[in-house]
Amino acid sequence: MTHPYLSKRPLGRTGLVVTPLGFGGGWIGSRGSHYSDAQAVATVLRALESGLDLIDTSGGYGDSERRIGLALESWYRNGGCREDIVLSTKTGSRTHPHDYSSGATLKSVDESRRLLKSDWLDILMIHDPADLEPALAPGGALPVLLRLKKQGVIRAVGLGVRAHEFHRRCLATGLFDVSLTYLDYNLLRQAAAEGVFPAAEKAGAGVFNGTSFANGLLNGIDPLETAARHNWPADRPEVQRARALWEFAGERGFSLIALNLQFCMRQKRIASTLLGASGPSEIEADLQAASEPIPDSVWTELEERFGIPGSGEGAFHAVQDSGAER
């Protein structure tokens, strides 16, 4: 039987298909000097060996691209194929202050290709602009990315940013293929369901869902412990809500990670939810949670008790790969 996290979903109109869980490279690039390349490589390899086919990273994530490139070298040596994975990275945030000029964009794309050991990149996103104008202007990142797409250097153009109005504006142009929204679709917050999903659906664009564990509040341990570690007040509304959800899951014999990941996977307008793991054991725990049996009645109960829209949508939505281009 195919695990639900291995069932393929189309990434909008791109022709690409991806697993509904992907690997997010932020953590392996930002762990500090105590974190080794070997640990990062083992983490990426565990994700690939488990069947996840999407890797999302950024030039702004410290050593993430370089470490993913090392992992891919190892994977290729052991028989893995570039065509079997979808590589997504970003431009603009490699430098500080962020630079969305055409020259910086070309340099960033070339550096990403070098570090990721790939002649082409499946998805290239404009990353975290505070203002869209420099990125969309004639001398900005977007015209460069559209030209590279025509040349086959990249296959899809995207936007990775928190501001929903930026997503809607870019999607309305018809020039963006992918939106990466973060912190806005999980059991604590579903703002992307109104702020991003309808615009993406209308544009035929795919959606990635990042930071779905809500900065640790939904990662399975007692949210009060997470709050204490971050010096967040225990009476903050999101901490209290996460604690109630944690108790709800525990009373029914399953983990909060399982409840949250499967909630995200049930949303058919999300192509892939990104796992920000920093070790192989975290990948294994996340995938076990994604397969943990949860009765259908729980989703209805969750919606009735917590008022979470979409939790009662129905069975997990996915499509098998039916020959779509990878």
Query: pTM of the full predicted structure?
Result: 0.94
Domain ranges of the chain: 4-306
pLDDT for 248: 97
Q: What CA–CA distance (Å, rounded) separates 169 from 148?
A: 22
**Amino acid identity, residue 20?**
P
User: Among the CATH numbers 3.30.930.10, 3.20.20.100, 3.40.50.300, 3.40.50.720, which is that of 4-306?
Assistant: 3.20.20.100
What are the residue ranges in the chain where pLDDT is below 70?
1-2, 311-326
Instruction: Judge whether 210 and 23 are in contact, CB under 8 Å.
Output: no
Alpha helices in the chain (DSSP H): 26-29, 37-49, 64-77, 102-115, 133-136, 141-151, 164-172, 192-195, 197-203, 223-229, 237-251, 256-266, 280-291, 296-306
- Nearest residue to 172 via CA among 192, 196, 190, 154: 196
- Nearest residue to 207 via CA among 199, 219, 215, 217: 199
pLDDT for 1: 53
CA-angle at 196, arms to 315 and 300, nearest 5°: 30
pLDDT tens-place string over residues 70-116: 999 999 999 999 999 999 999 999 999 999 999 999 999 999 999 99
Residues 6+ apart with CB under 8 A from 165: 195
- What is the phi/psi pair of residue 260, to 5°? -70, -45
